[in-house]
Amino acid sequence: MNEHLEGTREDRLAARRELLDAEKEHMRQGDELARRRGELPWIPVEKEYVFDTDDGRKTLADLFDGRSQLLVYHFMFGFGYRVDEENPGCTGCSFVADHFDAAIPHLNGHDVTLVAESLAPLDELRPYKQRMGWRFPWVSSGGSDFKYDYGAAFTEEQQRNGAEYNLRHVDQPPWPQREGMSAFALREETVQHTYSTYDRGVERFMGTYGFLDIAPLGRNEEGPADWWQRHDEYETPEEATS
């Protein structure tokens, strides 16, 4: 446990007021980034993508499910990503996905649909989804170029010769897949790609970090992945001391 300063209530109040000014500025900067994000050009999606879903095969436009906005989480599962037979899904993606179910009613009420997609077939996704207790829509993109075209998977040639990842060229992608979130809009029956984010860009969907950032010890981590586990793998205090 890190050492922390002790002081009087007056000391803390003065320091807290100074921090509040910085917090407000950080929030204003976040508002400005959101504004600029919303002003990015929209790009029509010209390729036809088809996904396997629990309700049959669907196009990208079908995934909107009657709404005008669509968020697609690129979940690392299958094709070169498998920890072991019991844990085939990415731990970090599982951490992100744990936050989806509670948000979906609010997103749906604001004209936004959220789905996850993976390269693995549905028969592999379903058992893991059941184990995790998730309800959000999870589709298979394995029969299309979708994950590759949106920068979250890399062919064998790209892994050898380099590819674009997170809007930069990398000589050798570190994984056959990476995490990410892509946003789309449906305008006059045409799907438009509006935004994608990768790497630590998906951290904003990990609501747990918002709690940790005000907890006494903060994130208390060496790196973003040094403590993550699937939610059914954490030790209880009793198990940790036994």
- State mean pLDDT over 174-195: 93
- Domain extents in the chain: 11-40, 43-205
Beta-sheet pairing, 180-187 with 190-198: antiparallel
The model carries a pTM of 0.91
Q: Percent of the chain beyond pLDDT 70? A: 93
pLDDT score at 204: 94
CATH class name, domain 43-205: alpha beta
> Which has more confidence, 241 or 91?
91
Per-residue pLDDT reduced to its tens digit, 19-61: 999 999 999 999 999 999 999 999 999 999 999 999 999 999 9
Average pLDDT across the chain, whole number = 91
Interior/surface letters 78-102, b for 16+ CB within 10 angstroms, e for the rest: beebeeeeeebbbebbbbbbbebee
**DSSP-assigned letters across all residues of 116-160:** EEESS-HHHHHHHHHHHT--S-EEE-TTSSHHHHTTSB--HHHHH
